[in-house]
């Protein structure tokens, strides 16, 4: 009897939970009464995460005149939203690397991170208030692929190779092999991690934003646009033309025609270029 995405997540013993520190950071970041000291105390228990945050705070992206030497200074420099994004990115990269290997790992992670930068840039350019959620949703949009890679390493590696070589559509091949696709698996993972419902919607419907709940359709559209732009720039596994219908829907949801999109895209690419140093920090 075929299993469901939820059963796959529940029965995959090798699947890491959301790290305790990450879960605590997300709770603190969501609490309006929390302080920098609260965040500092939790992050300081994870040496690797502390080093990552200090590295990013001192990167060219933030252009600090003086070296950021302490975690408290780094938190003040980056802000709660960026800290939250760094924490999720660290957790996501760990899972992307476990579910794939070699070229596939590098391509999938670079695609996820570029799509996240692009989704956030579109949100900022369009003055959408959920830019950081767009970043996180795009960062996690393909995480279900890594879960499938963990559960079915040989079959999923072959599927990825077929898609990379232009020998089939990824979603169709996933349904043929498993009875569900990576977006459904990714949603089940985020539910198990107890992440925000908006992120679950972004992951579940990034290939069809019109199916998302009305309150989240614009957010999912931003994620879809980020995904498309990454593929258009040759970053990732897949063919840009396979997403044309998805991004046409996304443009409608965001109130953009083709001319407006072209006008905004130049500014979006410039924003990504400014943020691009983040790609080298993970």
Query: What Å distances lie between residue 209 and 15, 201, 217, 245, 254, CA to CA?
Result: 28, 9, 6, 11, 11
Domains recognised in the chain with CATH numbers: 81-280 (1.10.3210.10)
pLDDT 10s digits, 231-275: 989 888 766 555 567 788 888 899 888 888 888 888 999 999 877
Q: How far is CA 42 from CA 29, 136, 242, in A?
A: 11, 21, 43
User: pTM to 2 decimals?
Assistant: 0.85
Contact 202, 220 (CB under 8 A): yes
16 is written with which tokens?
């890491």
In this structure, of 28-32, 96-100, 188-192, the range with the lowest mean pLDDT score is 96-100
**If we measure between CA atoms, which residue out of 136, 165, 98, 141 comes closest to residue 227?**
141
**Are the C-beta atoms of 116 and 164 separated by less than 8 Å?**
no
Task: Tell me the per-residue pLDDT of 154-167, one tens digit each, with 9 for 90 and over.
Answer: 898 889 888 878 88
């Amino acid at each position: 009897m075929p299993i469901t995405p939820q059963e796959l997540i529940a029965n995959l013993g090798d699947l890491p939970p959301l790290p305790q520190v990450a879960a605590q950071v997300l709770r603190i970041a969501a609490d309006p009464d929390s302080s920098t000291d609260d965040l500092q105390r939790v992050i300081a228990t994870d040496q690797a995460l502390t080093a990552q945050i200090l590295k990013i705070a001192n990167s060219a992206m933030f252009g600090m005149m003086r070296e950021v030497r302490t975690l408290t200074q780094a938190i003040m420099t980056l802000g709660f939203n960026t800290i939250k994004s760094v924490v999720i990115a660290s957790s996501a990269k760990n899972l992307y690397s476990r579910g794939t290997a070699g070229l596939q790992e590098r391509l999938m992670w670079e695609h996820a991170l570029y799509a996240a930068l692009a989704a956030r840039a579109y949100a900022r350019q369009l003055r959408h208030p959920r830019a950081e959620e767009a970043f996180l949703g795009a960062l996690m949009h393909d995480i279900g692929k890594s879960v499938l890679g963990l559960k079915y390493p040989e079959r999923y590696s072959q599927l990825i190779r077929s898609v990379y070589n232009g020998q089939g559509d990824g979603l169709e091949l996933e349904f043929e092999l498993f009875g569900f696709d990576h977006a459904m698996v990714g949603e089940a993972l985020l539910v198990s991690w107890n992440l925000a419902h908006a992120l679950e919607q972004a992951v579940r419907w990034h290939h069809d934003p019109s199916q998302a709940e009305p309150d989240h359709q614009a957010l999912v559209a931003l994620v879809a646009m980020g995904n498309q732009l990454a593929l258009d720039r040759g970053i990732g596994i897949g063919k840009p033309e396979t997403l044309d219908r998805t991004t046409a829907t996304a443009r409608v949801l965001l109130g953009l025609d083709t001319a407006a999109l072209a006008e905004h895209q130049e500014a979006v690419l410039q924003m990504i270029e400014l943020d691009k140093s983040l790609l080298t920090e993970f």
